[in-house]
Structure 1
Amino acid sequence: MKSDSWWKSLGFAIEGIIYAVRHERNLKIHTILAILILFFALFFKLKFLEYIILAITITLVIAAELFNTAIEYIVDYICKEESEEAKHIKDVAAGAVLTTAFGAIFVGYFVLFDRIKEYAGFALKRLPGLPSHLAVISLFITILLVVVLKAIFGRGEPLHGGMPSGHAATAFSILVSITYLTKDVMVIIMVFLLAILVCQSRVQLKIHNTTEVIFGAILGTSVTFLMYKFFL
């Protein structure tokens, strides 16, 4: 009887995880990232203890996200109307997730960065040295294409809104140029994070939607990459 009860409890727990992953976007992203990190970590020749630390850290992040989701559901169920208290509860729960996420970033940095730098550095050294003025030309062409596409789609203003996002295109064009010009892994990662923040801010401020930002990022990346590729 107890055995059956244990199996039922396990089934309910798994069902809860599946439901949360299926319906919660952030949890879905964290789960996909966790799988990718654990998979690629196998190629970095981590020590057993390092891999265990990485796995435990990822588990804590996902567990925090599950707790956050459960708390949000409870608050929404109890508080049928919006209230300041309900908002504070959700904010604190979200803060717990953010705290574990920052902790995971630090762990990932100390465990994985040297390995990533070693592999990425080897690949970057194989890139040919190219004139820096190509970065300016690529950026100029990217901006011109953004203006043309905005005119074609007929939405937004030259520097505000519309398809595609000029800020995203510019940020990722600069990212590609810096990748070719510096070949420094740390610099590239920092600029990549800045590019992501630029994109996120455009969506958060409701100047662009997600599709416009992604399209802009792809445009800036593609144009600049092709420019460097053709002028090797």
Structure 2
Amino acid sequence: MRPKHLTGSINRAIKGIVECLKTQRNMRLHFLVAAGVLALSLAIQLNAQEFTLVCLTITLVLVAEMANTALEGVVDMMTNTYHPLARRVKDISAGIVLLTAINACIVGYLVILRRLMPSVGDWAGWVLEWPWHVSLAAAILVLIAVISVKGLFHKGSPMRGGMPSGHAAVAFSGWVICSLVSLNGLVSLVTFSLAGLVALSRVRKKIHTAWEVVAGAFLGIIITVFIFQIFR
């Protein structure tokens, strides 16, 4: 039954938010993080445009989580048994939340973290000289590329197995980043060894074939080098 008055509609809307908070652990986590981010935004005195962007980003994440919860409830109401289409709908709705969360991290980095960096201290001055924005862009593009290619091959899951190896891609992307940023042969050797151990572990555990690991490493290296060539 639809409420007859505006106050009734508002009460039901608030009840829906409270219900989501009571039943969904992720929603409670989002609210806690949102409160912390808003408090930090006020403490560092963001300007009006920056604060508006932060508020919109927080709202987008909360709306996506509530929509995901509502959609899962509808799917569960329509079927009591496992169905591939129901699973697909739930995965897609969860993907919406993930995308908004990634967007929130990017906004937080660009708006809040960069504002905090000058006040970190002289002892960490050398850290501030690192091209963090380029490294972040490279890492994000590597992850997007891995997930996209896995989608094309329809093998494994986004976080485990399949073509190419995401762990190898990220590990060797990290090696390239450390090598280009530090320009230190020892640092490059150590990070390359660590990346090699990551790749080797994926093969030994039979999670990936050697070819999948090599393809992942190659993908991570190529994308990272390309990004650094563009922005540096």
TM-score, with normalisation over the residues of structure 1?
A: 0.50
Q: 1:15 and 1:45 mapped to 2: Cα distance?
A: 33
Q: Deviations over 1:65-119 (max 9, x none)?
A: 0000000111111111111111000000001111111111111111011222233
Letter of the 1:111 partner, please give it: V
Give the aligned partner of residue 101 of structure 2. 101
- In structure 1, what is the equivalent of residue 84 of structure 2? 84
After the TM superposition, which residues 40-51 of structure 1 pair with which residues of structure 2 at under 5 Å, given as runs? 40-51=40-51
Correspondence for 2:38: 38
Taking a change above 3 Å as real, the CA distance of residues 123 and 61 of structure 1, as seen in their structure-2 partners, is: farther
In the alignment, is residue 117 of structure 1 matched against residue 107 of structure 2? Answer: no
What corresponds to 1:22 in structure 2? 22
How far has the Cα of 1:124 moved from its partner? 5.8
Report the TM-score, using the length of structure 2 for normalisation: 0.50
1:26: how far off? 0.6
Distance apart, 1:38 and its partner CA: 0.2
SS at match of 2:74: helix
User: Which residue number in structure 1 is paired with residue 13 of structure 2?
Assistant: 13
Secondary structure of the 2:121 match is helix
Q: Deviations over 1:198-231 (max 9, x none)?
A: xxxxxxxxxxxxxxxxxxxxxxxxxxxxxxxxxx
Q: Give the AA of the match of 1:97.
A: V
User: Who is 1:191 aligned against?
Assistant: none
Report the CA distance between 1:4 and its aligned residue: 5.6
- 2:170 aligned residue: none
1:153 corresponds in structure 2 to none
Instruction: Report the 3-state secondary structure (helix = DSSP H, G, I; strand = E; otherwise coil) of the residue aligned with 1:85.
Output: helix
Q: Which runs of 5+ in 2 are unaligned?
A: 126-232
Aligned to 1:52: 52
Q: Which runs of 5+ in 1 are unaligned?
A: 126-232
Give how far 1:45 is off.
1.7
In 1, Cα distance between the equivalents of 2:69 and 2:123?
Answer: 40
Q: How does 1:1-232 map to 2 (within 5 A)?
A: 5-121=5-121
Distance 2:123 2:41 in 1: 18
After TM superposition, what 4+ stretches of structure 1 lie above 2 angstroms from structure 2? 118-125
Aligned amino acid, residue 61 of structure 2: V
Opposite residue 69 of structure 1, the aligned amino acid is T
Distance 1:47 1:83, change over 3 A: same
Distance 1:23 1:123 in 2: 45
Per the alignment, do residues 24 and 123 of structure 1 end up closer, same or farther by CA in structure 2, a change over 3 Å counting? Answer: farther
Distance change (3 Å), C-alpha of 1:27 and 1:122: farther
Q: Distance in 2 between matches of 1:31 and 1:123?
A: 34
Q: 1:82 to 1:63 in 2, by over 3 A?
A: same
- 2: CA distance, partners of 1:89 / 1:123: 49
In the other structure, the counterpart of 1:150 is none
Q: Distance in 1 between matches of 2:6 and 2:96?
A: 29
- Aligned-partner Cα distance in 1 for 2:39–2:122: 21
The separation in 2 between residues aligned to 1:123 and 1:14, in whole angstroms, is 47
Instruction: Return the alpha-carbon distance in structure 2 between the equivalents of residues 120 and 29 of structure 1.
Output: 27
